[in-house]
Structure 1
Amino acid sequence: MAAAARAAHLIVDSPPVIFADTVAYSLLGDQAKELVGYHRTQGEHPILAAVRATATVRSRYTEERLAEAVRRGVTQYVILGAGLDSYAYRADPEDGVRVFEVDHPATQRWKRHLLAEAGVAIPDTVTYAPIDFETESLSEVLLREGFDASRPAFVSWLGVTMYLTSEAIGDTLAAVGRLAPGSEIVLDYTLVPELRDAAAQMYADAVSSMSAEQGEPWLSAFRPEEMSALLEKRGFGLIEHSLHREAVDAALWERADPLLPSNLSGLAHATVLVRSPQPAR
């Protein structure tokens, strides 16, 4: 659904473009016409418009932070729960970024099938890192796939945390927090109901109920300061939070279509700090 929203944005919404995912439509394969068709025929529906706004804003924010990290010399990009993320298939190989797509093996097999069906070549710069989060550690999986643990990495984790408990989120953040100092993460998280605007609450009521019926209930929501505390406990600092309105350039909200900034979720950008030496015993 996130890929469909990114694809539909280029078809049904007016300029300015928030995020140009030129591969998403192809990745949807036989489902593209149906899934994007919902946006074509009902694009002004507040739920569908909110899905497009959320998917495009978080992707643009993440890839802008990634570009800044690359300019500072970071060459490893880890995408947790990669799903149908298309960065690796749009990126300029001259940028020298090695992409590690971390996801369930079945999801990766499905994605590779879709890529083959669409005729999208898999670049040498992408590495699939299949993982069973129940039994395997992130660091071990990355090392197995050629990740250089001595060098900083940029990590994205989008569209996942609302389905996890705070404890499970903390476990993954702890694993990322053990990467080399200077590594960065961007993640999104659902805001607590008190911080949502009316449109965001309407979206949450509708989508969370639907998600629960499909066996994926929303399990967590945070205040920015609560997410900061979770990150700090796992070794992160230099933490910045952004809501939709400030996550992208203000000019992108001067629109003639139904896309609006929402107070449904926040984006956090944080950096792994140098670890303090342990006292001698």
Structure 2
Amino acid sequence: MTDSGRLVGYLPANQVGRLASMRTDEDSWDINTGVGSTALFVAAARALGGRAHDAPATDPFAELFVSAAGGEWADLLAGRVPDHPLLTPDFGAQFQQHQLARTRYFDDYLRTAVTSGIRQIVILAAGLDSRAYRLPWPDGVTVYELDRPSVLEFKHRTLTSAGKQPLADRREVAVDLRGDWPNALRGRGFDAAQPTAWLIEGLLIYLTPAAQDQLFDALNTLSASGSRAAIEQMDPLPADTAAALAADDTAGAEWVRLIYNEPRDEATAWFAERGWTGERISLPAYIRALGSVPVGDDEHRQSLIDLVTVVKS
């Protein structure tokens, strides 16, 4: 969802006040509030960054989502908000680069997974992910998308209104990941005896360390031999950075309230202890592997992010 505590400070003005409450175990959100609203900010970054002729990834559906949200989101894409932070040469360029790089990483991961024969894809906290609609899926692939009902409803309504159809057997699983999502997933036809490709993008920082481990435990239990998982993970913000954000007069403090900025198990090591093999790469290193150079003066913050792929023996 984001790679820095600056995100909320850069949300359109009509969204900022909606992020003000502290996270609780029972908090709720939709596409315009709380954690859900960050998906629109990220979709806007994908839409804007994907316009470049040399963009490492493109997501034409991102523009549909942002336009459907209306208001200042639609104004941004139409060029009516020239001073928007996503258009700045420092933060905006860096944030767009982050989103396009991780999009490319996970797109390539899924292409490799289905080439290996996997036919079950599970996207946790799917948000405004459009891969079921835009990747060239072979026959027999089922894509399960898990998220809150209101988020999935917004996506379905937007794409249906635009006449878009998924290119795989897409199955929505309307569930809060803090609940019994494994049972809900099985109820939609998921077969734990078959290998699965899991996708965990922009999620972990919004879970407590304990909830992250519970999610990993469930994923491990549901994964047959040959399954794989791709994960975006972020190290905690340094204490002084987090404290400065919390005391900031801007809305940067609100983003800190949405995350759990605590030490947590590193994903590659966690899965290795349970018989998975894997590798990780830092976001700046991956950007360079794509033939680009990290932009702006914020590479240190980008270096907090790793992209991980693990495979179950």
TM-score (norm 2): 0.72
Query: What does residue 26 of structure 1 align with?
Result: 64
Aligned 8 A contact 2:140 2:168 in 1: no
Q: Secondary structure at the match of 2:310?
A: strand
**Structure 1 40/230 Cα, relative in aligned 2: closer, same or farther at 3 Å?**
farther
Q: How many residues align?
A: 260
Aligned 8 A contact 1:10 1:20 in 2: yes
Query: 2: CA distance between counterparts of 1:21 and 1:259?
Result: 26
Aligned 8 A contact 1:186 1:267 in 2: yes
Q: Secondary structure at the match of 1:238?
A: strand
Q: Which moved more, 1:22-31 or 1:39-48?
A: 39-48
Instruction: Give the Å deviation of 1:64.
Output: 0.8
Query: What does residue 207 of structure 2 align with?
Result: 164
Aligned 8 A contact 2:230 2:307 in 1: yes
| Residue number among 81, 92, 97 corresponding to 2:141 in the alignment | 97
| Residue number among 235, 239, 260 corresponding to 1:219 in the alignment | 260
Instruction: Give the Å deviation of 1:84.
Output: 0.4
What do residues 50-90 of structure 1 show as CA deviations (whole Å, max 9, x unaligned)? 32122111111111111111111011111000000010111
| 2:131 is the counterpart of 1:87 | yes
Q: Secondary structure at the match of 2:127?
A: coil
Q: Secondary structure at the match of 1:270?
A: strand
Query: 2: CA distance between counterparts of 1:107 and 1:226?
Result: 28
Query: What does residue 76 of structure 1 align with?
Result: 120
Q: Which moved more, 1:50-59 or 1:257-266?
A: 257-266
Query: What does residue 269 of structure 1 align with?
Result: 309
Query: 1: CA distance between counterparts of 2:45 and 2:104?
Result: 13
**Structure 1 205/242 Cα, relative in aligned 2: closer, same or farther at 3 Å?**
farther
What do residues 91-149 of structure 1 show as CA deviations (whole Å, max 9, x unaligned)? 224454211101111211121112123332245521111113333132x1221111122
What do residues 192-244 of structure 1 show as CA deviations (whole Å, max 9, x unaligned)? 446xxxxxx79x959x9846526843214558x833333345x3521211112
Aligned 8 A contact 1:18 1:56 in 2: yes
Aligned structure 1 segments of 4 or more residues deviating by more than 6 angstroms:
none
Instruction: Give the Å deviation of 1:30.
Output: 4.3
Note the 1:61-210 alignment, pairs <5 A.
61-94=105-138, 96-123=140-167, 125-138=169-182, 140-178=183-221, 179-193=223-237, 205=245, 210=251
Query: 1: CA distance between counterparts of 2:75 and 2:107?
Result: 28
In structure 2, the gaps of 5 or more residues are 1-40
**Structure 1 68/25 Cα, relative in aligned 2: closer, same or farther at 3 Å?**
same
**Structure 1 229/266 Cα, relative in aligned 2: closer, same or farther at 3 Å?**
same
Question: Counterpart amino acid of 2:59?
Answer: D
Question: Counterpart amino acid of 2:193?
Answer: S
Query: 1: CA distance between counterparts of 2:139 and 2:101?
Result: 23
**Structure 1 22/137 Cα, relative in aligned 2: closer, same or farther at 3 Å?**
closer
Aligned 8 A contact 1:77 1:155 in 2: yes
Q: Which moved more, 1:93-102 or 1:161-170?
A: 93-102
**Structure 1 151/50 Cα, relative in aligned 2: closer, same or farther at 3 Å?**
same
% identity of equivalent residues = 26
Query: 1: CA distance between counterparts of 2:231 and 2:136?
Result: 23
Instruction: Give the Å deviation of 1:24.
Output: 1.1
In structure 1, the gaps of 5 or more residues are 195-200, 274-281
RMSD, matched Cα: 3.2
| 2:48 is the counterpart of 1:8 | yes
Aligned 8 A contact 2:245 2:256 in 1: no
